[in-house]
Amino acid sequence: MFGFGKKNSIDNPDDLKKLMKKEGKNFPNAVKAMADNGNIICQELMATVVLNRMNQAPNLETKRKIHTDFIRYATPVAKSGNSDMQFNLGLSYSKTLDSDEDYIDQDGLNRLREARYWMREAADQGKQAALDSFHSLDKLIFNIETRLEDEDEDEDEDFTILDQLKLASEHVKFSKTMEELHPRDFGDVKGVIQDIGLERASQLYAHIVRQKIKNRKDRLQFILEELDGASQGIEKSKAFVRNSGIPASKYSGAIDRSYPAVDGLDGPQQFLRMASMRLMSNQELMVDFTLSVVRRIMDDHGL
């Protein structure tokens, strides 16, 4: 449409300057077109522009409408590993909450979960502000989840529609990963980690754990038992538990209160134990792997 071939591709900020000089007043339209076509540099610029508009929006309704455009441009940039955009994306979800409401509904809780996810992604790359925000969001979400669980304690513990959608989405990723690993057996945990990295490997094994958990009650019990065990482990495990936002009164002694659906021979706990034991020759990797899987199951539960 704008006549940009390989010679005129936008691969860095300097290319944007050349595009601006070439397009003149049509520069905004040219950038938007290239962003919509998947150019990551143009998407980053569009996300920045849209975020400024969102921050200046006069009311929440307008802010949320603009936020939809921001998500569209910012998400691929954040997924590419841009920690600043990950941080801004996380912050943007928090800004779309209604601060005048005393009660956070399911929609608000989902926005907080998205904010926490992106803050954690940015924190994993060493962004301190994101780490601080992640901890604050973690505690807030835990308090909200606790309240909702108290309100629903008389209802059954079956998985919600959101849980089921999550399981379906993760199964698609699981299938693609298994195709990529073929013919390697997922029982070769160390080999799998070497092939696809720790994060993707923990995603794969977390999905297998999910399939062994039958309901929300069992999932919470699994999480509490893992925290109970980690609290008695090495310093990295203890730090994980301290930063979980879950008080000791919740998980302390959980292992002693276990039952077959959680720690039986075909239960999620035994599967994770067996997988982790394959990494005994590398104690640090074993701990990182186990905590990464547990972290994903905690995310499922909104913790």
Q: Tokens 């603009």 map to which residue?
A: 66
**Domain extents in the chain:** 6-151, 161-300
N residues, the chain: 303
Q: Domain 6-151 has what CATH class?
A: mainly alpha
Output the six-digit token pair for 259.
């039952």
Residue pair 140/148 in contact by the 8 Å Cβ criterion: no
CA distance 64 to 96: 6
Interatomic CA distance for residues 227 and 272, integer angstroms = 13
pTM above 0.75, yes or no: no
- Burial, 155: exposed, middle or buried (Cβ in 10 Å; 0-12, 13-18, 19+)? exposed
The closest of 55, 56, 89, 52 to 72, measured between CA atoms, is 89
Written as tens digits, the pLDDT of the chain (303 aa) is 444 444 447 777 777 778 878 878 888 888 888 889 888 888 998 999 999 999 888 888 899 999 999 999 999 999 999 999 998 998 888 888 776 555 667 788 888 889 899 989 998 988 877 887 787 778 777 767 766 665 544 444 666 656 665 665 676 677 678 778 877 777 899 999 999 999 999 999 998 898 888 888 899 999 999 999 999 999 999 999 999 889 898 999 999 999 999 999 889 999 999 999 999 999 999 999 999 999 999 988 887
Residue 75 exposure: Cα atoms within 13 Å on the Cβ side: 11
The three-class DSSP label of residue 152 is coil
